[in-house]
Structure 1
Amino acid sequence: MTPRSVPVVLIHGLWIHPASWQSWIELLEEAGYDPIAPGWPGVGETPEETRAHPAATAGYGITDIADHYARIIADLPVKPMVIGHSFGGLIAQNLLGRELVAAAVAIDPAPIRGVKPVPVSTLRSTFVGLGNPGNRSKAVSLNAQQFRYAFGNALPADESDDLYARWAIPGPARPLFEAAFANFSPSSPARVATHNNARGPLLLISGGKDHIVPPSVVRSAAKQYRRSSAVTEVSAFPDRGHSLTLDHGWREVAEAAVAWLDKNRPA
Protein backbone atom coordinates (compact mmCIF):
# COMPACT_ATOMS: atom_id res chain seq x y z
CA MET A 1 0.00 0.00 0.00
CA THR A 2 1.41 3.40 -0.97
CA PRO A 3 1.39 6.21 1.64
CA ARG A 4 -1.59 7.94 0.01
CA SER A 5 -3.66 4.86 -0.84
CA VAL A 6 -6.74 3.85 1.11
CA PRO A 7 -7.76 0.19 1.53
CA VAL A 8 -11.17 -0.82 0.22
CA VAL A 9 -12.70 -4.10 1.33
CA LEU A 10 -15.13 -5.62 -1.17
CA ILE A 11 -17.73 -7.96 0.38
CA HIS A 12 -19.65 -10.34 -1.84
CA GLY A 13 -23.18 -11.51 -1.21
CA LEU A 14 -24.84 -14.87 -0.90
CA TRP A 15 -24.42 -17.23 -3.87
CA ILE A 16 -21.68 -15.21 -5.63
CA HIS A 17 -17.95 -15.93 -5.45
CA PRO A 18 -15.63 -13.05 -4.42
CA ALA A 19 -13.58 -13.46 -7.59
CA SER A 20 -16.46 -11.71 -9.34
CA TRP A 21 -15.04 -8.44 -7.92
CA GLN A 22 -11.90 -8.62 -10.09
CA SER A 23 -12.98 -5.88 -12.50
CA TRP A 24 -13.83 -3.64 -9.54
CA ILE A 25 -10.41 -4.33 -8.02
CA GLU A 26 -8.68 -3.19 -11.20
CA LEU A 27 -10.80 -0.03 -11.40
CA LEU A 28 -10.18 0.81 -7.73
CA GLU A 29 -6.44 0.30 -8.18
CA GLU A 30 -6.47 2.68 -11.14
CA ALA A 31 -8.25 5.21 -8.91
CA GLY A 32 -5.51 4.99 -6.28
CA TYR A 33 -7.12 2.63 -3.78
CA ASP A 34 -5.80 -0.59 -2.30
CA PRO A 35 -8.70 -3.08 -2.73
CA ILE A 36 -9.10 -6.61 -1.40
CA ALA A 37 -12.00 -9.04 -1.82
CA PRO A 38 -11.86 -11.74 0.87
CA GLY A 39 -14.45 -14.50 0.80
CA TRP A 40 -16.97 -15.41 3.47
CA PRO A 41 -15.97 -18.16 5.92
CA GLY A 42 -15.76 -21.50 4.13
CA VAL A 43 -15.64 -20.04 0.62
CA GLY A 44 -12.90 -21.64 -1.50
CA GLU A 45 -10.28 -19.90 -3.61
CA THR A 46 -12.29 -20.53 -6.78
CA PRO A 47 -15.97 -21.05 -7.64
CA GLU A 48 -15.16 -24.63 -8.65
CA GLU A 49 -13.53 -25.39 -5.29
CA THR A 50 -16.48 -23.89 -3.41
CA ARG A 51 -18.99 -25.91 -5.43
CA ALA A 52 -17.00 -29.08 -4.77
CA HIS A 53 -17.19 -28.55 -0.99
CA PRO A 54 -20.57 -26.91 -0.28
CA ALA A 55 -20.71 -28.06 3.35
CA ALA A 56 -17.73 -25.83 4.12
CA THR A 57 -19.98 -22.75 3.84
CA ALA A 58 -22.84 -24.18 5.91
CA GLY A 59 -24.00 -22.86 9.26
CA TYR A 60 -22.44 -19.40 9.22
CA GLY A 61 -24.73 -16.54 10.18
CA ILE A 62 -24.60 -12.77 9.82
CA THR A 63 -22.60 -12.26 13.01
CA ASP A 64 -20.07 -14.92 12.00
CA ILE A 65 -19.56 -13.26 8.64
CA ALA A 66 -19.37 -9.72 10.04
CA ASP A 67 -16.84 -10.79 12.68
CA HIS A 68 -14.82 -12.58 10.00
CA TYR A 69 -14.46 -9.30 8.11
CA ALA A 70 -13.83 -7.37 11.34
CA ARG A 71 -10.79 -9.57 11.97
CA ILE A 72 -9.53 -8.96 8.42
CA ILE A 73 -10.00 -5.21 8.86
CA ALA A 74 -8.14 -5.27 12.18
CA ASP A 75 -5.02 -6.41 10.32
CA LEU A 76 -5.09 -3.51 7.85
CA PRO A 77 -2.72 -0.58 8.46
CA VAL A 78 -5.53 2.02 8.43
CA LYS A 79 -9.31 2.04 8.67
CA PRO A 80 -10.65 0.99 5.24
CA MET A 81 -13.63 1.95 3.18
CA VAL A 82 -15.97 -0.90 2.27
CA ILE A 83 -18.24 -1.87 -0.61
CA GLY A 84 -20.77 -4.67 -0.15
CA HIS A 85 -23.34 -6.27 -2.43
CA SER A 86 -26.55 -7.97 -1.26
CA PHE A 87 -25.80 -9.62 2.10
CA GLY A 88 -22.39 -8.03 1.72
CA GLY A 89 -24.22 -4.69 1.84
CA LEU A 90 -25.79 -5.66 5.15
CA ILE A 91 -22.37 -6.68 6.47
CA ALA A 92 -20.95 -3.35 5.27
CA GLN A 93 -23.59 -1.50 7.32
CA ASN A 94 -22.82 -3.68 10.34
CA LEU A 95 -19.13 -2.77 10.14
CA LEU A 96 -19.92 0.92 9.58
CA GLY A 97 -22.22 1.02 12.60
CA ARG A 98 -19.42 -0.50 14.68
CA GLU A 99 -17.10 2.28 13.43
CA LEU A 100 -14.66 -0.26 12.00
CA VAL A 101 -14.67 1.32 8.53
CA ALA A 102 -14.36 4.91 7.34
CA ALA A 103 -17.28 4.79 4.87
CA ALA A 104 -19.51 2.20 3.25
CA VAL A 105 -21.29 1.60 -0.04
CA ALA A 106 -24.12 -0.93 0.25
CA ILE A 107 -25.40 -2.12 -3.13
CA ASP A 108 -28.82 -3.78 -3.19
CA PRO A 109 -28.28 -4.61 0.50
CA ALA A 110 -30.15 -7.43 2.23
CA PRO A 111 -32.71 -5.99 4.66
CA ILE A 112 -31.52 -4.84 8.06
CA ARG A 113 -33.75 -5.01 11.14
CA GLY A 114 -36.50 -2.41 10.86
CA VAL A 115 -37.10 -2.81 7.14
CA LYS A 116 -40.79 -3.62 6.74
CA PRO A 117 -41.46 -4.37 3.04
CA VAL A 118 -41.39 -8.06 2.14
CA PRO A 119 -41.96 -8.11 -1.63
CA VAL A 120 -43.26 -11.27 -3.28
CA SER A 121 -40.24 -11.28 -5.59
CA THR A 122 -37.96 -11.40 -2.53
CA LEU A 123 -39.81 -14.39 -1.12
CA ARG A 124 -39.68 -16.18 -4.46
CA SER A 125 -35.96 -15.44 -4.89
CA THR A 126 -35.06 -16.77 -1.43
CA PHE A 127 -37.50 -19.68 -1.26
CA VAL A 128 -34.72 -22.14 -2.11
CA GLY A 129 -33.46 -21.54 1.42
CA LEU A 130 -36.47 -20.34 3.39
CA GLY A 131 -38.81 -22.95 1.93
CA ASN A 132 -37.49 -25.60 4.31
CA PRO A 133 -36.76 -24.74 7.98
CA GLY A 134 -34.31 -27.63 7.99
CA ASN A 135 -32.06 -25.64 5.68
CA ARG A 136 -31.09 -23.23 8.46
CA SER A 137 -27.86 -25.06 9.25
CA LYS A 138 -27.17 -26.14 5.67
CA ALA A 139 -25.66 -24.69 2.52
CA VAL A 140 -28.06 -24.03 -0.35
CA SER A 141 -27.55 -23.36 -4.05
CA LEU A 142 -29.54 -21.79 -6.86
CA ASN A 143 -30.03 -23.57 -10.15
CA ALA A 144 -29.68 -21.64 -13.40
CA GLN A 145 -33.40 -20.91 -13.64
CA GLN A 146 -33.58 -19.66 -10.07
CA PHE A 147 -30.49 -17.53 -10.66
CA ARG A 148 -32.09 -16.00 -13.74
CA TYR A 149 -35.14 -14.92 -11.75
CA ALA A 150 -33.21 -13.70 -8.70
CA PHE A 151 -30.13 -12.14 -10.32
CA GLY A 152 -30.46 -12.06 -14.09
CA ASN A 153 -34.05 -10.98 -14.70
CA ALA A 154 -32.92 -7.71 -16.33
CA LEU A 155 -30.46 -9.53 -18.62
CA PRO A 156 -30.67 -11.65 -21.75
CA ALA A 157 -31.00 -15.30 -20.75
CA ASP A 158 -27.62 -16.23 -22.22
CA GLU A 159 -25.80 -13.58 -20.18
CA SER A 160 -27.57 -14.68 -17.00
CA ASP A 161 -26.62 -18.29 -17.69
CA ASP A 162 -23.01 -17.28 -18.33
CA LEU A 163 -22.80 -15.37 -15.03
CA TYR A 164 -24.30 -18.36 -13.25
CA ALA A 165 -21.71 -20.71 -14.75
CA ARG A 166 -18.85 -18.37 -13.87
CA TRP A 167 -19.69 -17.09 -10.41
CA ALA A 168 -22.55 -18.94 -8.69
CA ILE A 169 -21.64 -20.86 -5.53
CA PRO A 170 -23.45 -22.51 -2.61
CA GLY A 171 -23.89 -20.43 0.52
CA PRO A 172 -25.22 -20.70 4.07
CA ALA A 173 -28.99 -20.46 4.47
CA ARG A 174 -28.73 -19.10 8.02
CA PRO A 175 -28.44 -15.41 6.97
CA LEU A 176 -31.69 -15.76 5.00
CA PHE A 177 -33.54 -16.89 8.12
CA GLU A 178 -31.91 -14.24 10.29
CA ALA A 179 -32.89 -11.44 7.91
CA ALA A 180 -36.39 -12.80 7.32
CA PHE A 181 -37.22 -12.89 11.04
CA ALA A 182 -35.18 -9.85 12.09
CA ASN A 183 -38.17 -7.74 13.10
CA PHE A 184 -39.31 -10.36 15.59
CA SER A 185 -36.06 -10.23 17.56
CA PRO A 186 -34.68 -7.03 19.17
CA SER A 187 -31.23 -8.63 19.27
CA SER A 188 -31.36 -9.94 15.70
CA PRO A 189 -28.01 -10.38 13.94
CA ALA A 190 -29.51 -8.22 11.17
CA ARG A 191 -29.68 -5.25 13.53
CA VAL A 192 -27.22 -2.43 12.78
CA ALA A 193 -26.42 0.77 14.66
CA THR A 194 -28.56 3.07 12.53
CA HIS A 195 -28.68 5.81 15.20
CA ASN A 196 -24.90 6.14 15.46
CA ASN A 197 -23.96 9.76 14.79
CA ALA A 198 -20.23 9.00 14.90
CA ARG A 199 -20.14 6.47 12.07
CA GLY A 200 -18.79 7.32 8.64
CA PRO A 201 -20.77 8.17 5.49
CA LEU A 202 -23.08 5.59 3.89
CA LEU A 203 -24.28 5.24 0.31
CA LEU A 204 -27.18 2.88 -0.41
CA ILE A 205 -27.58 1.84 -4.06
CA SER A 206 -30.65 0.15 -5.51
CA GLY A 207 -31.42 -1.55 -8.80
CA GLY A 208 -34.86 -0.64 -10.07
CA LYS A 209 -35.55 -4.12 -11.46
CA ASP A 210 -33.99 -6.08 -8.60
CA HIS A 211 -36.09 -9.09 -7.58
CA ILE A 212 -34.17 -10.01 -4.41
CA VAL A 213 -33.84 -6.48 -2.99
CA PRO A 214 -36.37 -4.21 -4.74
CA PRO A 215 -36.01 -0.42 -4.36
CA SER A 216 -38.72 -0.36 -1.67
CA VAL A 217 -36.42 -2.39 0.59
CA VAL A 218 -33.50 0.00 0.03
CA ARG A 219 -35.69 3.05 0.66
CA SER A 220 -36.96 1.49 3.88
CA ALA A 221 -33.36 0.83 4.95
CA ALA A 222 -32.51 4.50 4.34
CA LYS A 223 -35.39 5.54 6.61
CA GLN A 224 -33.86 3.58 9.48
CA TYR A 225 -31.01 6.12 9.49
CA ARG A 226 -33.22 9.20 9.70
CA ARG A 227 -32.32 9.82 13.38
CA SER A 228 -28.59 9.81 12.66
CA SER A 229 -26.78 13.03 11.81
CA ALA A 230 -24.14 11.06 9.88
CA VAL A 231 -24.23 11.20 6.07
CA THR A 232 -26.66 8.77 4.43
CA GLU A 233 -27.24 8.98 0.68
CA VAL A 234 -29.32 6.92 -1.74
CA SER A 235 -28.68 6.30 -5.43
CA ALA A 236 -30.64 4.25 -7.96
CA PHE A 237 -30.03 2.51 -11.27
CA PRO A 238 -33.60 2.14 -12.56
CA ASP A 239 -33.01 -0.49 -15.25
CA ARG A 240 -30.71 -2.80 -13.31
CA GLY A 241 -31.29 -6.09 -11.53
CA HIS A 242 -29.46 -7.84 -8.69
CA SER A 243 -26.57 -8.73 -11.03
CA LEU A 244 -25.61 -5.05 -11.39
CA THR A 245 -22.14 -5.53 -9.85
CA LEU A 246 -21.06 -8.33 -12.19
CA ASP A 247 -22.98 -8.11 -15.46
CA HIS A 248 -22.09 -6.16 -18.62
CA GLY A 249 -23.07 -2.85 -16.96
CA TRP A 250 -20.87 -3.25 -13.88
CA ARG A 251 -18.62 -0.31 -14.80
CA GLU A 252 -21.42 2.25 -14.55
CA VAL A 253 -22.16 1.16 -10.98
CA ALA A 254 -18.50 0.83 -10.06
CA GLU A 255 -17.62 4.29 -11.36
CA ALA A 256 -20.48 5.81 -9.39
CA ALA A 257 -19.27 4.01 -6.26
CA VAL A 258 -15.67 5.14 -6.81
CA ALA A 259 -16.77 8.74 -7.37
CA TRP A 260 -18.63 8.61 -4.07
CA LEU A 261 -15.61 7.10 -2.30
CA ASP A 262 -13.45 9.89 -3.73
CA LYS A 263 -15.85 12.47 -2.28
CA ASN A 264 -15.80 10.81 1.14
CA ARG A 265 -12.20 9.61 1.18
CA PRO A 266 -10.48 10.04 4.55
CA ALA A 267 -8.04 12.94 4.70
Structure 2
Amino acid sequence: MATPVLFIHGLWLHATSWEPWMNLFRDAGYDVHSPGWPGDGDTVEASRLNPDPIADHGIDDVTEHYAGIIAGLPSPPILIGHSFGGMIAQKLLGQDRAVAAIAIDAAQIKGVLPVPLSALKATLPVFKNPANRHRAVSLTEEQFRFAFAGAVSEEESRELYERWTIPAPGRPLFEAAAANFNPHSPAQVATGNQNRGPLLLITGGKDNTVPVSVTRATLKQYRHSEAVTDILEFEDRSHSLTIDSGWREVADACLDWLKKQSL
Protein backbone atom coordinates (compact mmCIF):
# COMPACT_ATOMS: atom_id res chain seq x y z
CA MET A 1 0.00 0.00 0.00
CA ALA A 2 1.33 3.44 -0.97
CA THR A 3 2.23 5.76 1.91
CA PRO A 4 -0.14 8.77 2.07
CA VAL A 5 1.36 12.25 1.79
CA LEU A 6 -0.83 15.12 2.96
CA PHE A 7 0.13 18.60 1.75
CA ILE A 8 -0.98 21.55 3.91
CA HIS A 9 -0.88 25.06 2.47
CA GLY A 10 -0.44 28.24 4.47
CA LEU A 11 -2.02 31.67 4.43
CA TRP A 12 -2.77 33.36 1.09
CA LEU A 13 -2.13 30.30 -1.10
CA HIS A 14 -4.71 27.88 -2.49
CA ALA A 15 -4.38 24.13 -2.06
CA THR A 16 -3.97 23.69 -5.81
CA SER A 17 -0.59 25.44 -5.54
CA TRP A 18 0.72 21.99 -4.49
CA GLU A 19 -0.17 20.42 -7.87
CA PRO A 20 3.44 20.18 -9.18
CA TRP A 21 4.50 18.58 -5.90
CA MET A 22 1.60 16.17 -6.00
CA ASN A 23 2.51 15.01 -9.48
CA LEU A 24 6.14 14.50 -8.47
CA PHE A 25 5.28 12.59 -5.30
CA ARG A 26 2.66 10.52 -7.09
CA ASP A 27 5.27 9.53 -9.66
CA ALA A 28 7.55 8.58 -6.75
CA GLY A 29 4.94 6.11 -5.53
CA TYR A 30 3.13 8.06 -2.82
CA ASP A 31 -0.64 8.41 -2.32
CA VAL A 32 -1.04 12.20 -2.46
CA HIS A 33 -3.67 14.50 -0.97
CA SER A 34 -3.96 18.30 -0.89
CA PRO A 35 -7.19 19.42 0.81
CA GLY A 36 -7.76 23.09 1.49
CA TRP A 37 -8.37 24.89 4.76
CA PRO A 38 -11.91 25.18 6.16
CA GLY A 39 -13.94 27.57 4.02
CA ASP A 40 -11.61 27.56 1.00
CA GLY A 41 -13.31 27.40 -2.37
CA ASP A 42 -12.56 24.55 -4.75
CA THR A 43 -10.56 26.91 -6.96
CA VAL A 44 -8.55 30.11 -6.61
CA GLU A 45 -11.30 32.04 -8.41
CA ALA A 46 -14.06 30.63 -6.19
CA SER A 47 -12.09 31.53 -3.07
CA ARG A 48 -11.61 35.09 -4.27
CA LEU A 49 -15.25 35.52 -5.22
CA ASN A 50 -16.57 34.28 -1.87
CA PRO A 51 -14.04 34.98 0.90
CA ASP A 52 -16.55 35.08 3.80
CA PRO A 53 -16.40 31.31 4.56
CA ILE A 54 -12.59 31.60 4.83
CA ALA A 55 -12.78 34.15 7.67
CA ASP A 56 -12.34 33.51 11.40
CA HIS A 57 -10.83 30.02 11.28
CA GLY A 58 -8.07 29.72 13.88
CA ILE A 59 -5.12 27.37 14.36
CA ASP A 60 -7.12 24.80 16.35
CA ASP A 61 -9.93 24.83 13.75
CA VAL A 62 -7.47 24.11 10.97
CA THR A 63 -5.62 21.46 12.99
CA GLU A 64 -8.84 19.58 13.73
CA HIS A 65 -9.91 19.92 10.11
CA TYR A 66 -6.78 18.11 8.97
CA ALA A 67 -6.95 15.63 11.86
CA GLY A 68 -10.37 14.62 10.54
CA ILE A 69 -8.96 14.15 7.05
CA ILE A 70 -6.10 12.04 8.45
CA ALA A 71 -8.61 9.85 10.29
CA GLY A 72 -10.11 8.95 6.92
CA LEU A 73 -6.82 7.84 5.37
CA PRO A 74 -5.86 4.15 5.27
CA SER A 75 -2.71 4.79 7.32
CA PRO A 76 -0.98 7.73 9.07
CA PRO A 77 0.51 10.07 6.46
CA ILE A 78 3.67 12.02 5.86
CA LEU A 79 2.80 15.70 6.30
CA ILE A 80 4.32 18.46 4.19
CA GLY A 81 3.28 21.95 5.20
CA HIS A 82 4.25 25.45 4.14
CA SER A 83 4.15 28.54 6.39
CA PHE A 84 1.16 28.14 8.74
CA GLY A 85 0.72 24.74 7.11
CA GLY A 86 4.17 23.94 8.51
CA MET A 87 2.99 24.86 12.00
CA ILE A 88 -0.13 22.68 11.57
CA ALA A 89 2.08 19.80 10.39
CA GLN A 90 4.21 20.12 13.52
CA LYS A 91 1.15 20.13 15.77
CA LEU A 92 -0.25 17.00 14.11
CA LEU A 93 3.12 15.23 14.27
CA GLY A 94 3.38 16.08 17.97
CA GLN A 95 -0.06 14.51 18.42
CA ASP A 96 1.23 11.29 16.80
CA ARG A 97 -1.16 11.61 13.88
CA ALA A 98 1.58 11.28 11.24
CA VAL A 99 4.66 9.14 10.57
CA ALA A 100 6.80 12.16 9.65
CA ALA A 101 6.54 15.85 8.81
CA ILE A 102 8.33 18.41 6.68
CA ALA A 103 7.71 22.02 7.75
CA ILE A 104 8.75 24.52 5.09
CA ASP A 105 9.22 28.15 6.21
CA ALA A 106 6.89 27.28 9.08
CA ALA A 107 5.11 29.98 11.07
CA GLN A 108 6.55 30.45 14.54
CA ILE A 109 5.28 28.15 17.28
CA LYS A 110 4.84 29.02 20.95
CA GLY A 111 8.22 29.50 22.60
CA VAL A 112 9.92 31.07 19.58
CA LEU A 113 10.92 34.59 20.58
CA PRO A 114 12.55 36.30 17.57
CA VAL A 115 10.16 38.60 15.69
CA PRO A 116 12.33 40.19 12.97
CA LEU A 117 11.27 43.53 11.50
CA SER A 118 10.77 41.96 8.08
CA ALA A 119 8.25 39.52 9.58
CA LEU A 120 6.35 42.40 11.17
CA LYS A 121 6.26 44.25 7.86
CA ALA A 122 5.11 41.13 5.99
CA THR A 123 2.15 40.66 8.33
CA LEU A 124 1.26 44.35 8.71
CA PRO A 125 -1.64 44.08 6.22
CA VAL A 126 -3.41 41.96 8.85
CA PHE A 127 -2.26 43.60 12.10
CA LYS A 128 -2.94 47.19 11.02
CA ASN A 129 -6.64 46.63 11.78
CA PRO A 130 -7.66 44.62 14.89
CA ALA A 131 -10.97 43.79 13.20
CA ASN A 132 -9.00 41.66 10.74
CA ARG A 133 -8.87 38.96 13.43
CA HIS A 134 -12.36 37.96 12.31
CA ARG A 135 -11.98 38.73 8.60
CA ALA A 136 -10.49 37.20 5.49
CA VAL A 137 -7.67 39.48 4.32
CA SER A 138 -6.14 39.74 0.86
CA LEU A 139 -2.64 40.88 -0.08
CA THR A 140 -1.92 43.42 -2.76
CA GLU A 141 0.56 42.48 -5.47
CA GLU A 142 3.19 44.68 -3.79
CA GLN A 143 2.57 43.12 -0.38
CA PHE A 144 2.83 39.63 -1.88
CA ARG A 145 6.16 40.47 -3.47
CA PHE A 146 7.64 41.54 -0.13
CA ALA A 147 6.12 38.71 1.92
CA PHE A 148 6.55 35.86 -0.56
CA ALA A 149 8.46 36.53 -3.73
CA GLY A 150 11.37 38.86 -3.03
CA ALA A 151 13.93 36.40 -4.42
CA VAL A 152 12.37 36.06 -7.89
CA SER A 153 11.82 38.55 -10.70
CA GLU A 154 8.98 41.06 -10.60
CA GLU A 155 7.42 39.29 -13.56
CA GLU A 156 7.45 35.89 -11.85
CA SER A 157 6.15 37.44 -8.62
CA ARG A 158 3.23 38.93 -10.54
CA GLU A 159 2.49 35.60 -12.23
CA LEU A 160 2.54 33.74 -8.89
CA TYR A 161 0.26 36.34 -7.34
CA GLU A 162 -2.29 36.07 -10.14
CA ARG A 163 -2.19 32.28 -10.25
CA TRP A 164 -2.25 31.16 -6.62
CA THR A 165 -3.22 33.85 -4.09
CA ILE A 166 -6.49 33.83 -2.18
CA PRO A 167 -7.81 35.70 0.89
CA ALA A 168 -6.65 34.29 4.22
CA PRO A 169 -8.11 34.33 7.73
CA GLY A 170 -6.44 36.87 9.99
CA ARG A 171 -7.11 34.91 13.16
CA PRO A 172 -4.09 32.53 13.02
CA LEU A 173 -1.70 35.47 12.85
CA PHE A 174 -3.24 37.12 15.91
CA GLU A 175 -3.10 33.79 17.77
CA ALA A 176 0.55 33.23 16.88
CA ALA A 177 1.47 36.80 17.87
CA ALA A 178 -0.02 36.29 21.35
CA ALA A 179 1.30 32.74 21.78
CA ASN A 180 4.00 33.48 24.35
CA PHE A 181 1.51 35.37 26.55
CA ASN A 182 -1.15 32.63 26.47
CA PRO A 183 -0.56 29.46 28.52
CA HIS A 184 -3.14 27.64 26.40
CA SER A 185 -2.08 29.02 23.03
CA PRO A 186 -3.18 27.08 19.95
CA ALA A 187 0.36 27.69 18.63
CA GLN A 188 1.67 25.26 21.24
CA VAL A 189 3.41 22.19 19.77
CA ALA A 190 4.38 19.04 21.68
CA THR A 191 8.07 19.57 20.94
CA GLY A 192 9.14 17.25 23.77
CA ASN A 193 7.41 14.19 22.30
CA GLN A 194 10.08 11.47 22.31
CA ASN A 195 8.06 8.97 20.27
CA ARG A 196 6.99 11.11 17.31
CA GLY A 197 8.17 10.53 13.77
CA PRO A 198 11.05 12.45 12.17
CA LEU A 199 10.75 16.16 11.39
CA LEU A 200 12.54 18.25 8.77
CA LEU A 201 12.51 22.05 9.06
CA ILE A 202 13.26 23.88 5.80
CA THR A 203 14.09 27.58 5.68
CA GLY A 204 14.73 30.12 2.95
CA GLY A 205 17.65 32.46 3.48
CA LYS A 206 15.82 35.40 1.85
CA ASP A 207 12.44 34.79 3.46
CA ASN A 208 10.99 38.02 4.86
CA THR A 209 7.92 36.38 6.41
CA VAL A 210 9.66 33.53 8.28
CA PRO A 211 13.34 34.49 8.40
CA VAL A 212 16.04 31.91 9.09
CA SER A 213 16.32 33.12 12.71
CA VAL A 214 12.73 32.00 13.36
CA THR A 215 13.34 28.51 11.96
CA ARG A 216 16.56 28.11 13.93
CA ALA A 217 14.73 29.18 17.09
CA THR A 218 12.04 26.62 16.26
CA LEU A 219 14.70 23.92 16.02
CA LYS A 220 15.87 24.80 19.55
CA GLN A 221 12.37 24.17 20.87
CA TYR A 222 12.88 20.48 20.03
CA ARG A 223 16.11 20.15 22.05
CA HIS A 224 14.41 18.05 24.75
CA SER A 225 13.29 15.35 22.28
CA GLU A 226 15.58 12.65 20.96
CA ALA A 227 13.35 12.10 17.93
CA VAL A 228 14.93 13.01 14.58
CA THR A 229 14.77 16.77 13.97
CA ASP A 230 16.73 18.10 10.98
CA ILE A 231 17.09 21.52 9.39
CA LEU A 232 17.86 22.45 5.79
CA GLU A 233 18.50 25.96 4.48
CA PHE A 234 18.13 27.20 0.91
CA GLU A 235 20.19 30.39 1.12
CA ASP A 236 18.85 32.16 -1.97
CA ARG A 237 15.16 31.36 -1.57
CA SER A 238 12.22 33.35 -0.25
CA HIS A 239 8.78 32.43 1.11
CA SER A 240 7.61 31.44 -2.38
CA LEU A 241 10.07 28.52 -2.52
CA THR A 242 7.27 25.93 -2.80
CA ILE A 243 5.57 27.60 -5.77
CA ASP A 244 8.18 29.52 -7.73
CA SER A 245 10.41 28.29 -10.55
CA GLY A 246 12.82 26.67 -8.08
CA TRP A 247 10.20 24.46 -6.38
CA ARG A 248 11.65 21.26 -7.80
CA GLU A 249 14.96 21.66 -5.93
CA VAL A 250 13.06 21.89 -2.64
CA ALA A 251 10.74 19.01 -3.51
CA ASP A 252 13.64 16.76 -4.52
CA ALA A 253 15.37 17.55 -1.21
CA CYS A 254 12.21 16.47 0.60
CA LEU A 255 12.12 13.19 -1.33
CA ASP A 256 15.79 12.57 -0.55
CA TRP A 257 15.23 13.19 3.15
CA LEU A 258 12.23 10.87 3.24
CA LYS A 259 14.31 8.17 1.58
CA LYS A 260 16.96 8.56 4.29
CA GLN A 261 14.23 8.07 6.87
CA SER A 262 13.11 4.87 5.08
CA LEU A 263 9.84 6.56 4.20
- The TM-score with structure 1 as length reference comes to 0.97
**2:246 matched to 1:249?**
yes
2:227 and 2:254 map into 1 onto residues whose CA distance is: 18
2:16 matches 1:22: no
Which of 159, 169, 183 is residue 186 of structure 1 equivalent to? 183
Aligned counterparts of 1:236 and 1:196: Cα–Cα separation in 2 = 24
- Per the TM alignment, residue 227 of structure 1 is displaced from its structure 2 partner at its CA by 0.3
Partner of 2:218: 221
Report matched runs for 1:83-122 at 5 Å: 83-122=80-119
Tell me: CA distance 1:106–1:194, structure 2 relative to 1, closer, same or farther (3 Å).
Answer: same
Structure 1's consecutive aligned runs of 4 or more residues displaced over 6 angstroms after TM superposition are: none
The aligned residue for residue 164 of structure 1 is 161
Partner residue in 1 for 2:144: 147
The Cα of 1:265 is off from its aligned counterpart by 3.9
Q: Which amino acid aligns with 2:194?
A: N
Q: Percent identity between the aligned chains? A: 57
Q: Give 1:262's aligned residue.
A: 259
Query: What is the distance in 1 between the residues matched to 2:109 and 2:88?
Result: 9
Return the alpha-carbon distance in structure 1 between the equivalents of residues 262 and 72 of structure 2.
20
**Counterpart pick for 2:66 among 66, 69, 72:** 69
Segments of 5+ residues of structure 2 without an aligned counterpart are none
Partner of 1:132: 129
Quote the offset at 1:121 in angstroms.
0.5
Q: How many residues align?
A: 263
Identify unmatched segments of 5+ residues in structure 1: none
Is 1:209 paired with 2:226?
A: no
Question: SS of the counterpart of 2:176?
Answer: helix
Classify 1:178/1:203 alpha carbon distance in 2 versus 1 (closer, same or farther; 3 Å). same
When normalised by structure 2's length, the TM-score is 0.99
